[in-house]
Structure 1
Amino acid sequence: MENVSLIFFWFPYNELVIDTLIVKVVLPEGSKDISASVPFPVKQWQETKFSHLDLVGRPVVVLEKNNVVPEHNEHFQVYYKFNSLSMLREPLMLIFGFFFLFVACIVYMHADLSISKSSASYLAKVQWEEVQATVQQIHNIISHCLTAHDKLEASLRDLSRTGDVQACKATRKSVDSLLKGVSKDLKPLVTFLQSSPQAAHILPKVEELIAKERDLQERLMAKHTTVVDCYEKKLGGREIENRIASNQQKITSLRQEVDDLMDFIDEI
C-alpha cells in the first residue's frame, strides 16, 4: 500500500467570480484513507462513481466552496493510499473472463445435453424417427413400382410403333420380376408400422397407397396382356382401343390417386 498525493488548482480562471464552486476529484478504484488539504474552509464529502469494469466503484472527493474569488486560486492536495497491485485487477478480470468463457464453450460443445435416453419423451422421439424412416422406404419402393409401370406403358407405345411383340414381352418379364421383389420388400416394413403405436395416424394412408398401387399394377398387367394378344391376333388399332377403354379410364384414375397419396406421405 503506497501513500499518494495529488495537487490541483482550485480556481483556474482569475477573471471569474463564482457564488458556489464544486470540485470533484475521481480517484482510482481501491483507494483508501482519503483526505483533502485545502488552504481555506470548504465543505467536503465522498461519493462513488462506477465506470467500465469497476467492481466497487471509484471514490470521488467532492469539495464545495461558496463565494469563490480570484484569491482562492491556490493549490490543494488530496491524499490517499493505493495498492499498485490493484492496477492488475481489470486486466486480470478480462483475462479470466475470456478464459472461463472459452472453457464454458468447450464444455457446452462436448457435453451431452440430450434428454435422458430412458425417458418416455426420448423413446417416443426415437420411435417416431424409425416410423419416418420406414415410411420413406415405402415411399421409395412405390416410386420404383411407378417407374416400372411407366416402363410397361412405354413398351406398349413402342409396340404400336414397331410391332415388335417379342420386345414387349421381354419388357413385361423384367417388370414382373422387379415387382415381385418389391412386394417382398414391402411386407416387413408394413408389419413394423402395424406394430408401432407412433404410426397409428399414418398407417391407414400407407395401407391405402399400397392397395391402390397393387390395383393399378393388376390393371396395367391386364391391359398389357390384352394389347399383346391383340397384336398377336393382328387386330386393328380401333379394336384394341375398344377392348382397353374401360380399363384405361380406371388406370388413369388410380394413377392420380396414387400420386396424391405419395405427395401426402412425402410431406410427413
Structure 2
Amino acid sequence: MKVQVLMENTGTNSINSFHIAIESKMHEMLSFIDANVKTDASNKHPLMPRRVSISDNRDKSFYRLQLRDNVAPSGTVAVEIEMVFVNALRPYPAQINQLDKQLVIYDGSPYFFSPYNTIKQITTVTLASSNVESYSKVKPVSLSGSTITYGPYRNTPAFDGTSVTIHYENNSPFLSVVSLERVIEVSHWGNIAVEEKIHIKHVGAALKGSFSRFDFQRGQSYENIPAVKSFKTVLPASAKDVYYRDEIGNISTSHMLQLEDSVELDIRPRFPLFGGWQTHYTLGYNVPSFQYLYSNGNSYLLQMRLIDHIFDNCVIENIKLRIILPEGAKNIIFKAPYQVERDADGLHFTYLDVVGRPVISIHKSKLVEHHIQDFNLRYDFSQILLLREPLLVVVIKDEANEARQKVAGILEEIQCLQENRESLYESFSSAISKYKAQKNSNAFGSARKKFDLDYKKIYADVTVFLEKLGTEKAESTITQQIQEIQTKEMERKHLLDQTASLTEQIVVGKIDREKYIDNLQSNMAKRSKLAEEIAILNSNL
C-alpha cells in the first residue's frame, strides 16, 4: 500500500512530528512500513517510523514520524508512506479443481485510516486481473479494467473504519516460505559459506480432488493455472559451488545463470506445487570473504544480507539466522537493519576446535522483499589465532581413490547429458504443439529432423561414457542402471515419435478427434511413468 499525503498544520504552533494509525486487524498483517518527506520533485528525506502507544486509543496501533524540519502554522509537508501487509488476500472458494481459476477476496477500506480529518482523498485499487466478480460500491466509485477507483471523498473524519470487499480472479501462485533456517559460516581463510534449509508451501486455493499429470501437461501453456512449476532465486554475483538438494538427493533439473550483478538460479521442485502442497529443500553456496568482511588491525566488520531473494513477491513467515564466527572472536556487536529478536549466543564445534566457535542467533517473522538489507556484525579477532590449527598437507598415491574420482566425473558428465535430453524433449514437445496450432509442416519437419539428430548424439555420448565406466571398473550396479536408463529413454523417444505421428494425422484429417485424444492420453501416461522411473534411476547414481 502506497499513500501520498499532503499535511497542513492547522494549529497555532509549529510541529515537528505526526502519527500514522493502523487498525488492529490490519496491524496483525503488517510486515513493513516506511515513509519519506518529499522535499522537491526528485529529492526525498527518509523518516523512521517508531511504534508508540496512545492511551486514548489502545485499540489501534500508532507510529510516530519525526520530521527533520518544523512545519510552521498553515505550512504543509508532503509525505509518502509505504506499508506491506501479508496474508491480506484469502482464496474464495478455498478449494478448486486442477484447471479452475483462482478467486480471492480482499477486505480493506476506501479511506486512508488516519488519526486526522482528511479534506480530500482518492483510493486506487489495482487488481491482478480484470475479472471482478463483485466489489463494494461506496460512491463515488468506478471500475476500469483491473483498476477500481474510490472517491474523491471529502471531509472524511478521523479513524473512519468503513470497509469494502473485492472478489476477483487472481491466478498468481501464492507461495509462502513457512520456515527458513539460514546459516552463515565465516572463515578467515578467504571463504564464507551460506546454507539455507527452506520449507515452502502454496497457500492459495487448495487442490480439490486428485492430481492429473495429463491435465497439467496439457494446461501448462494456460496462464490461468495457479500452480508452480519453477521459480527464480537470486544469489550474490560472486556465489560459487552452488548446490540444491532435498531429502532424496541432488535435484539436477534446475539451472543456474551467471549475470553481471547476480547469479540467477531456476529452482524446479520434483513436482508442481498446487494449493496446499509443500516442499522442503536445502540451498547452499560459497562467497569470497574479501567482499563482505572488512578489517582494521584485529577489528572486523561483517556486512551481508540478512536474507536472499528466494522468489518474486516472497513472504517469509519465520526465519532463524545463525552466524558462525571463527574460534576466538570476541567483543561481538550485532546490528540489524530493522527490529529482530536475538536469541542466546552459542558455540559450534568442528574439526580441531578447542573452545568452540561463537554463534550469533536471531529470529524474525513476516518478512518480505523489502527486508533484503544488510546487517553489520563487528568483532575482534587476533590474527595469531590462525596458527592454532595446524595446516596439514598430505600427498598420498591412492589408486582406488583416483578411480572413484574418475567414476564420479564420468557420472557427472552423464547427468549433464540427461539434463540436455530433458531439454530436448521439452523443445520437441513445444514444436509438436506449435505444429498442431499453426499447421506449418515445413517448420515441423525441420524440428523433427533436428530432434532425431540431437537425440542420436546424446545417446552415442552416453554410450561412450558407459564404456569408460567399464574401463575404470565401476560398480556393476552403476553400469546396469545407466544401461536401463538408455533402454527406457529409447522407449520414451519412441512414444514421443508416436505423439508426433498422431499430431500429423489429426492435422491432415486421417484420424478423428476422439480417437486422437484417447491415444494421446494413453501415450502421455506411459511417458509420464517412464519419466518417473528414469528420475529414480538418476537419483540413485
2:452 equivalent to 1:176: yes
Cross-structure match for 2:394: 113
The one-letter amino acid of 2:521's match is A
What are the equivalent positions in structure 2 for 1:87-98 lying under 5 Å apart? none
For 1:233, which of 506, 509, 512 is the aligned residue? 509
For 1:200, which of 468, 471, 476 is the aligned residue? 476
- Aligned-residue offset at 1:190: 0.5
2:536 equivalent to 1:260: yes
Asked whether the 8 Å contact 2:470–2:479 carries over to 1, the reply is yes
The one-letter amino acid of 1:238's match is E
CA distance in 2, matches of 1:218, 1:255: 13
Cross-structure match for 2:461: 185
* Shift in alpha-carbon separation, 1:238–1:165, aligned structure 2, 3 A: farther
The one-letter amino acid of 1:208's match is E
* Shift in alpha-carbon separation, 1:139–1:233, aligned structure 2, 3 A: same
- Aligned-residue offset at 1:112: 5.2
CA distance in 1, matches of 2:427, 2:510: 23
- Aligned-residue offset at 1:137: 0.8
- Aligned-residue offset at 1:247: 2.5
Cross-structure match for 1:136: 412
CA distance in 2, matches of 1:146, 1:214: 13
The one-letter amino acid of 2:536's match is D
- Aligned-residue offset at 1:236: 4.2
The one-letter amino acid of 1:133's match is G
Q: Larger Rg: 1 or 2?
A: 1
2:487 equivalent to 1:211: yes
Asked whether the 8 Å contact 1:142–1:213 carries over to 2, the reply is no
CA distance in 2, matches of 1:234, 1:165: 15
* CA deviations over 1:129-187 (Å, ceiling 9, x no partner): 00011111111112111111111211122223223233222211111111111122122
CA distance in 1, matches of 2:490, 2:507: 26
How many residue pairs align between the two structures?
157
* Other structure's SS at 1:197 match: coil
Cross-structure match for 1:35: none
Q: Which has the higher contact order (CA 8 A, sep 6+)?
A: 1
Residue ranges of structure 1 left out of the alignment (5+ in a row): 1-100
Asked whether the 8 Å contact 1:145–1:182 carries over to 2, the reply is yes
CA distance in 1, matches of 2:517, 2:500: 12
* Other structure's SS at 1:184 match: helix
For 1:162, which of 438, 443, 454 is the aligned residue? 438
Cross-structure match for 1:223: 499
The structure where strand makes up a greater share of residues is 2
* Other structure's SS at 1:227 match: helix
What are the equivalent positions in structure 2 for 1:25-174 lying under 5 Å apart? 113-115=394-396, 117=397, 122-174=398-450
Asked whether the 8 Å contact 2:414–2:462 carries over to 1, the reply is yes
Instruction: Report the more deviating stretch, 139-148 or 188-197.
Output: 188-197
* CA deviations over 1:104-151 (Å, ceiling 9, x no partner): x9xx86x85222x2xxxx100000000011111111112111111111
Asked whether the 8 Å contact 2:436–2:503 carries over to 1, the reply is no
* Shift in alpha-carbon separation, 1:215–1:138, aligned structure 2, 3 A: same
* CA deviations over 1:219-261 (Å, ceiling 9, x no partner): 1112212221331236443332233333222111111111222
CA distance in 2, matches of 1:191, 1:173: 28
Cross-structure match for 1:55: none
Asked whether the 8 Å contact 1:156–1:224 carries over to 2, the reply is yes
The one-letter amino acid of 1:195's match is T
* Other structure's SS at 2:540 match: helix
Please, what is the CA RMSD of the aligned residues? Answer: 2.7
Asked whether the 8 Å contact 1:223–1:247 carries over to 2, the reply is yes
The one-letter amino acid of 1:246's match is S
Percent identity of equivalent pairs = 16
CA distance in 2, matches of 1:201, 1:138: 15
The one-letter amino acid of 2:394's match is L
The one-letter amino acid of 1:215's match is E
Cross-structure match for 2:520: 244
Asked whether the 8 Å contact 2:417–2:458 carries over to 1, the reply is yes
Asked whether the 8 Å contact 2:506–2:516 carries over to 1, the reply is yes
CA distance in 1, matches of 2:445, 2:504: 8
The one-letter amino acid of 1:240's match is Y
The structure where helix makes up a greater share of residues is 1
